[in-house]
Amino acid sequence: MSTSSRASVRPGGAAASALDGIANTAYSVAFEGIGRDFQAEKKRGEPDSAKRVLRDVTLEVGAGEVLAILGASGCGKSTLLRIAGGLDIPSAGRVTIDGSAVNGIDARCAVGFQEPRLLPWRTLAANVALGLPRGLGREAGALRVSELLDLVGLGAAATLRPREVSGGMAQRAALARALARNPGVLLLDEPFGALDALTRLKMQDLLLDVHAAAPTTVLLVTHDVDEALQLADRVLLLGAGDDAPGATIRQILTVPGQRPRDRGDAELAELRAELLAGLGVDRHGYSTRSTT
Ligand SMILES: Nc1ncnc2c1ncn2[C@@H]1O[C@H](COP(=O)(O)OP(=O)(O)O)[C@@H](O)[C@H]1O
Ligand SMILES: [Mg+2]
């Protein structure tokens, strides 16, 4: 599906004009031979040693694509995401966005985390405004904040403070803040991981609506196989092999069907089993591999 056809889908009957200023950028992201070593904790009398976390991650993510990144806890998902946004520097390889290299924190990316990280003394609107690009005029800024709040269904909650709203609402405000600067790449690190099951499903639908209205490229780290299959164009399974230390790409699956997908679809059930097996979990939920 092309980016432009996504852009033409307007959720909730929102006026095209109101969304035009929000996000209309989507950049391709290329990982080229990414490796990352961390200094291992040094024991007395031992020489310095490095712990390899990632090795040889090479992948192109298309403009406007939603890529889900799955993998066991501690395998390097967040590290890979941080490297994409220039929040961490790879030990090998490089990342390019829209063809130009990432060097330091990259303004073309916006990041969302498991916790909303809102400022408690600010209203939701003022928190969203924190994400606005510099140099945007006061009036244009206020307009964009109110459009974004509408987009995430918080139009009526603009003047509330974070402690006055639910976890799901706070997370929606955080999403609006991330979108405020019109990012070409949205990096989401288990953004719904702290929410209850029902709220999580609603947030997944909201993310699809937002992505349809504002066709940015999304890299979504999740540990939820169903979430990955519901939201992503492709699912990247990151994991360690037996041959060398460090996690790398073990599998890339293209998810069939248009979104929103039928959560009960038989083809998805097959992919789900395949991904769970790749994660070392059999169909009964037992771990089939020893993990460290
Ligand atoms: N700044 C750091 N210094 C040393 N080790 C780190 C650092 N950041 C991450 N690690 C290690 O790298 C591994 C991968 O971490 P992370 O990317 O957070 O995994 P995931 O997000 O998949 O759970 C972990 O073993 C973690 O301890
Ligand atoms: Mg992580």
CA of 79 to the centre of ligand 1 (A): 6
The rounded Å distance from CA 94 to ligand 2 centre is 20
Q: Is pLDDT above 50 for 64? A: yes
Q: In order of start, what are the domains of the chain with their CATH numbers?
A: 17-38+49-278 (3.40.50.300)
Tens of pLDDT, residues 3-43: 333 333 344 444 343 444 555 789 999 999 999 999 887 77
Q: Cβ distance 113 to 173 under 8 Å?
A: no
Ligand showing the shortest atom-to-Cα distance for residue 193: 2
Report the SS3 class of residue 244. Answer: coil
Query: What's the rounded mean pLDDT across residues 203-220?
Result: 92
Higher-pLDDT residue of 170 and 134 is 170
HSE-up of residue 283 (Cα within 13 Å, Cβ side): 6
**Ion ligand 2 residue ranges (Cβ < 5 Å):** 78
State which ligand 1 atom lies nearest to the alpha carbon of 88.
Answer: 1
Number of Cβ atoms within 10 Å of the Cβ of 254: 9
Say if CB 221 and CB 188 are below 8 A apart. yes
Atom index in ligand 1 nearest the CA of residue 190 equals: 21
Task: Write the burial class of residue 70 (CB in 10 Å: 0-12 exposed, 13-18 middle, 19+ buried).
Answer: buried
Spatial distance between the Cα atoms of 52 and 40, rounded to a whole number of angstroms = 9
Q: Which of the pair, 249 or 292, is modelled with greater confidence?
A: 249
Instruction: Grade residue 190 by pLDDT with cuts at 50, 70 and 90.
Output: very high
Q: Which ligand is nearest to the CA of 76?
A: 1
Q: What pTM was estimated for this model as a whole? A: 0.88
75 Cα nearest atom in ligand 1: 22
* Per-residue confidence (pLDDT) for residue 99, from 0 to 100: 96
